[in-house]
Structure 1
């Protein structure tokens, strides 16, 4: 494996070698890519030739699994070689993808997490807490396994109430909390009601993923205030693996693990590459997940690669501001293009907000938004008015803001579902 400070030319040469080796390993056994790459020039004489390979899309994978249930044909080996099953949440398509891994592919993912641990500055004495139930969603399964094999003291928090999880975290003096941004805040909300001082606990780092929040300044600041700890955002997908994470000395930017991924950023409409500093869709090829590979996978996630030299001296490219949004999450309202994260960035600046929900009402060609906010206490009427004025001042259009009774909006352990779309 190349270090994060490897010269760019060496990195590109290593990536090209890895892609060639991947293709040699998966073809012709992988029926999905044998069909998809038939007729393509796979000699790959130069690094630039990688862009000539076709994109892979989630729609293709979903259709393949529907046509060849239950796992599809993106499997390099016979089924007996596979040892793990995970699946996506299905929040973007409604149809979860099932994903299988061989022991070798699983070990590759654990190596990605070990690189994460080093970038985040985790220490041998750290105690890691995972406050969620381990289901088929990949979530932090790979993180937990990588951490235990790396010798960290790991505490699972599945099958517990939120109150019991807080007690467990404190009793075992855990120093690193892994959670979605939503659940990290919910733990803090419950701790406040129970008279627990989370900011005074042993927790020094909160690692978040699974939804926007870690990259939204107001949400990030709130998490750090609740826990008195550094918030680390990280990014990955069940079908692609662990991809990017913040370093302990570089907050606000996520480093792509380019020794294990070939990454591109393209125009979502045309598929053409965009220059660094320009927002576009992230396209990824995982270089070591041989049992269930993805080649030039269109993630649907919008990013901006930081331009210029990394001030910390690394050559792995940085996602400036993390994940900016989803290409399919854009809302067109009154001539404006809006991502839900823009609403969260405003709402989370108000510490009186316990939870919120955004309703998108589509009536023919017209789109209306309604924002429901739940106050920590009181009727929330003044809070709703203040948030409405803040949205109008910053986004330059009106949004109806109403107040929900305290405790009435749902809480989420894993991915939050705060955007409700209704078509009429």
Structure 2
């Protein structure tokens, strides 16, 4: 272990991985009080929101849980009213050194998020936890096959790995084929990307005759979409890449929040030394017990420059509080993110998340890509699924997919097969749900330029 790794890894309080819930809550409370003591007097957003409340007025967890939730909608409004960064800034503007932004799919335009050097260091610390959980080794070589942009995705993973002395290879500005060859030439063992792009790279490897499953890659870290927690998608990825998939969860405005550990496949450990986690009823405000689906609510404890307190993420999850096989007491997200509250599709009395459809579609190896079209032009919403077959696909694929959906979800959908290579491919987050509304022009419909989410 080099001096850099020793300095960073040793700073993690690893004894808290197996601490009792009371010990962990005590740790969280101490950090929460420090956060509130700093933020409440000088952060304009939270000073207004909490009407001048002081940190000393929050005496216990019951007081904390009475604080109003923070929502993405109010953050978006705040940034409109206080452009360009909003008023959720604890320090003078000159103390902020990093800017990232969200994708903007929920509010219509991206949230801009500033970080101080101290907040950025905390984000890197979260990734050091993640690397500990997935057993990053001294000999590992990491590959990031995408162009870094204003989105936070994997920026902190890249910098944290470099801080730990690992070889980090960025793959921006090149074709998928070139990225695959770069990966092999440099003997990369860990790849960080989205599930969608990992599937696309596997598709390109097959077409180019590149034996991807024989590459040195031992770990595929996926994030940004639910795919890593969907059994059929996960199986397809692990088969194509010949390695283990590790699912990761985080948000630009929150930070890296959860990571699948070696011993907990398809379950992501929540970094409970760095975040306070709550799960509440979807569409409501009451807490739900472990094992029941609900909306994830997060308070980040180390991002003081632009904090979020009781933030409704909009992500639907199910968590378990059972101690894992290593004695770790941190709660875990089971089966990845189930969907987003605002992504739920309402079709003729049926409510479903896009991830539910993906779980069925990915069972068909003949399906190379797909798109979900929600048609809202009539009095009732209609659902159409477009499936793009692999070149070798045979038989009535549309009928088989439609039958599988009907058998599992108990309603009929229109499934159509589109020509190979006709659906878009994505490097970062995929946009596979497209809405056709009465406002769509005839030109949009002819060109198939739909509003994809």
With normalisation by structure 2, the TM-score equals 0.91
- The answer as to 2:44 corresponding to 1:7 is no
Residues 12/379 of structure 1: CA separation in 2 closer, same or farther (3 Å cut) = closer
Structure-2 separation of matches of 1:86 and 1:123: 29
Structure-2 separation of matches of 1:181 and 1:145: 21
- The answer as to 2:125 corresponding to 1:82 is no
Aligned with residue 80 of structure 2, among 33, 53, 66: 66
For residue 366 of structure 1, give the secondary structure of its aligned residue in structure 2.
Answer: coil
Shift of 1:108: 0.1
Structure-2 separation of matches of 1:117 and 1:153: 14
Structure-2 separation of matches of 1:279 and 1:41: 33
What corresponds to 2:38 in structure 1? 25
Deviations 1:299-331 (A, max 9, x none): 000111114333331111011112111011111
Structure-1 separation of matches of 2:392 and 2:366: 10
What corresponds to 1:16 in structure 2? 29
Shift of 1:28: 2.0
Structure-2 separation of matches of 1:77 and 1:51: 26
Q: How well do the aligned residues superpose, as a CA RMSD in angstroms?
A: 1.3
Residues 276/180 of structure 1: CA separation in 2 closer, same or farther (3 Å cut) = same
What corresponds to 1:354 in structure 2? 368
Aligned with residue 423 of structure 2, among 399, 405, 409: 409
Contact 1:120 1:246 in 2 (8 A): yes
Aligned with residue 394 of structure 1, among 392, 408, 420: 408
Contact 1:381 1:403 in 2 (8 A): no
Contact 1:204 1:228 in 2 (8 A): yes
What corresponds to 1:36 in structure 2? 49
Deviations 1:257-303 (A, max 9, x none): 00000010011222111111111100000000011100000000011
What corresponds to 1:166 in structure 2? 180
Shift of 1:364: 5.5
With normalisation by structure 1, the TM-score equals 0.97
Q: Which moved more, 1:318-327 or 1:225-234?
A: 318-327
Q: Which moved more, 1:178-187 or 1:43-52?
A: 43-52
Aligned with residue 320 of structure 1, among 320, 334, 337: 334
Contact 1:56 1:298 in 2 (8 A): yes
Structure-1 separation of matches of 2:63 and 2:393: 60
- The answer as to 2:114 corresponding to 1:100 is yes
Shift of 1:49: 2.5
Contact 1:13 1:47 in 2 (8 A): no
Structure-2 separation of matches of 1:398 and 1:381: 20
What corresponds to 1:282 in structure 2? 296
Structure-1 separation of matches of 2:60 and 2:348: 46
For residue 190 of structure 1, give the secondary structure of its aligned residue in structure 2.
Answer: helix
Deviations 1:28-84 (A, max 9, x none): 221001111115464322233220111100001000000111000001111110100
- The answer as to 2:248 corresponding to 1:229 is no
What corresponds to 1:178 in structure 2? 192
For residue 10 of structure 1, give the secondary structure of its aligned residue in structure 2.
Answer: helix
Contact 2:321 2:329 in 1 (8 A): no
Shift of 1:206: 0.2
Unaligned runs of 5+ in 1: none
What corresponds to 2:153 in structure 1? 139
